[in-house]
Structure 1
Amino acid sequence: GTVIFRRYHAAAPADEIARRISAFVATETEPEIEGPVIIRHAADLPVGLSPHMKPLIEWHFANGN
């Protein structure tokens, strides 16, 4: 199948970006997400991750910055 995604690079630290996302989600009456997930390296995968995400995360960290 085909996967479309976008990578974002931000100057702010991950924890600050997560705080901003959480604040935004809190204002939504019907949020599409529960909140942000910070993944700091390819081995740092969250529980319940969709199977198609693991190779994308590995690719990101292998080809990242």
Structure 2
Amino acid sequence: MIELHVTGMSCGGCAASLQRALASQPGVTHVEVDFASATARVEGEIERAALIALVEAQGFNAS
């Protein structure tokens, strides 16, 4: 599992949108994005760098 700290989400809708975007990636089997803790947890066969790039493409920052 890869856990990312995500900044820039302003509401639960942002978290839901990011969750859908991450879940649509090939190799991803499970995603949990939590607005309250500003985290995204991703399971599957995908590189951390690819996840960070996707989060940033959605308008957020990740580390």
TM-score (norm 2): 0.34
| Greater RCO structure (CA 8 Å; 6+ sep) | 2
Larger radius of gyration: 1
TM-score (norm 1): 0.34
Structure that is richer in strand per residue = 2
